[in-house]
Amino acid sequence: MLLNVNIIKKISCVLLIFCWFGCNTHTEIKEKEIVKVPEKMDDQISDNIKSVLGFAKENNGKISDSLKLVEWQIVNSFYEKNNFRGIWSKEENWNPVADSMFQFIKKSKYYGLYPDDYHYQELDSLRTKISNDSLVRMDAIAWTKADLMLSDAFMKTLKDLKEGRIIPDSLSITNKGNFIDSFFIGNLEKASSSDRVSELFDSVEPANIHYASLKEALKDFVDSMDTTRYLHVDFPYTDTLAFYDQLYKRLTQAGFGSDTIPVVDSVMVSDEVKKYQYHEKLKVDGKPGEGTIGFLNDNDNERFKRIAITLDRYKSIPAFPKTYVWVNIPGFYLELWDDDTVIFKSKVVVGKPATQTPTLHSEISNMVIFPNWTIPESIIKKEILPALKEDPGYLYRKGFSLVDYKGDEVDPFTVDWSKYKKGIPWKIVQGSGDDNALGIFKFNFNNPYSVYLHDTNQRYLFANSNRALSHGCVRVQKWESLAFYIARQDSISSAGNRTMRYNIDSLKTWIANKDRKTVMIKNRLPLYIQYLTCVGKDDKITFYKDIYSDDQALGDKYFANK
């Protein structure tokens, strides 16, 4: 019995698709599926998409040795709902939305994205072939591949603009069922019926002035950036010889030394380091220390990574209220924002790399005038307990008191400090006054880290350029401006209310009299403490030192091959 000719053709096509997409080799098999009648192309693409996605489901998104659909599950859900119809072309011609999507990918660095994460090279090559080769234009497999890559690129772009790339996969919206239909599929359906994708992508980005200012300044940075891939020098290091070799290679990239030297020694490295330091107006000592290595590693590609990471950090921050306090840890500053305007800016001192200030979102709930300081257990374990073992008089010299759970003071000379290893069963408190480490004023807010904003008795530290010097709390130079603003807002909201218990004048009186007071804030002031190594302002990007190496760690994890 003879089989229907159409059935034979369809079986042959399916076998051909699986051979092209699924052969387990390291060389792409250049099979084709020529459709000579343009009106039949779309039906063939639909059949191909269904077959290829079936293969991808069995191979974790891979459809060939060199190509993987990153968001293949969402892509598959979309095509299932769309009866596996292609959406980016029609009868061997690109739809306008396909041109728009391709141009967006090409310029995606303006959004802090990497084009190659969205199949740019493969799509560019395929579009060129389709445009220049009439035989490729009739190839259903080429159009199938393009349709799947564009859909995958669209879904990944949505995800990366909405939530960024530096969150754990387990927390991603790609794993939340309510986002699949309403966000991903819904937006691709919307895009497929339009001519442009940029407005749609813009709509899913964070709507805050910090993100917008950095993104606005990014275009000029991208247009002028040096895209040379420079060798990154690992620092600090454990293998000296490997470090010298890596450093010398990097110096040759900068135009120093010679790339024909097979083996380098410390003298050669020192000589070239001096030349580099002189050229870059650094301290000329021939020592490859943190400053010199940091300067070598600070190139445009590394800076773009930091911009990309910072844009992604903004995506994890909830929508901002009208008024809030903003602390940027690497920038060493605090800002009070109201209606997208900075009311005042203050220098701050933040945690040392060993005792880092945490990132958080909270609300300032009360203020303490002339506060006591109850020393955190972490400081007791690391610093005070070892000192007490050497000399119990340490507490008296520092103005600290040893207090039991009843509030009674304990004589440190009556304690056998040698038997305590990790902690002690008492509190250590520094009384209020001019010598108190918290200074005159303290701002409390709920957080699990036992940190707060406060004044300091070491005000001279605000003159330092590097102000990563605290045990984790944030010391605020203009604490008075913050305190008086909070009092003013509480006074305004309580106008005519005779139960209002404080105002700016009462704060000034208590401070002058050195009265210890705790003031509960009626209108709690939102607080954001963030780690952002670059900011945009007036179409320029300012970079700050990655003081905790957080951006370096994220760059190594998510952008290692960029």
For residue 420, the enclosing domain spans: 374-430
Res 499: pLDDT: 57
pTM (predicted TM-score): 0.87
Classified as helix, coil or strand, 61 is coil
- Domain shared by 152 and 192, yes or no: yes
Residue 282 belongs to a domain = no
Count of domains for the chain: 3
Domain boundary among the residues 181, 204, 227 is at 204
- Domain shared by 36 and 149, yes or no: yes
- Domain shared by 414 and 443, yes or no: no
Res 183: pLDDT: 95
- Domain shared by 460 and 518, yes or no: yes
- Domain shared by 402 and 526, yes or no: no
Residue 250 belongs to a domain = no
- Give the model confidence (pLDDT) of 325-373 as tens digits: 999 999 999 999 999 999 999 999 999 999 999 999 999 999 999 998 7
Residue 190 belongs to a domain = yes
How far, in Å, CA of 272 to CA of 258, rounded? Answer: 10
How far, in Å, CA of 391 to CA of 14, rounded? Answer: 83
Residue 20 belongs to a domain = yes
- Domain shared by 324 and 460, yes or no: yes
Domain boundary among the residues 411, 430, 449 is at 430
113-120 long-range Cβ contacts below 8 angstroms, 24+ apart: 113/157, 113/160, 113/161, 113/308, 114/308, 114/559, 114/562, 117/70, 117/156, 117/160, 118/153, 118/156, 118/157, 119/67, 119/149, 119/150, 119/152, 119/153
- Domain shared by 460 and 521, yes or no: yes
Question: Dihedral sign, CA of 158, 163, 168, 173?
Answer: negative
Res 118: pLDDT: 98
**Residue 210 contacts residue 535 (beta carbons within 8 Å):** yes
- Domain shared by 72 and 197, yes or no: yes
Residue 152 belongs to a domain = yes
CB atoms inside a 10 Å sphere around CB 111? 20
- Give the model confidence (pLDDT) of 455-486 as tens digits: 999 999 999 999 999 999 999 999 999 999 99
Residue 398 belongs to a domain = yes
- Residues in a beta bridge with 454: 442, 475
Res 493: pLDDT: 66
Residues in the chain with pLDDT values less than 50: 1-30
Classified as helix, coil or strand, 345 is strand
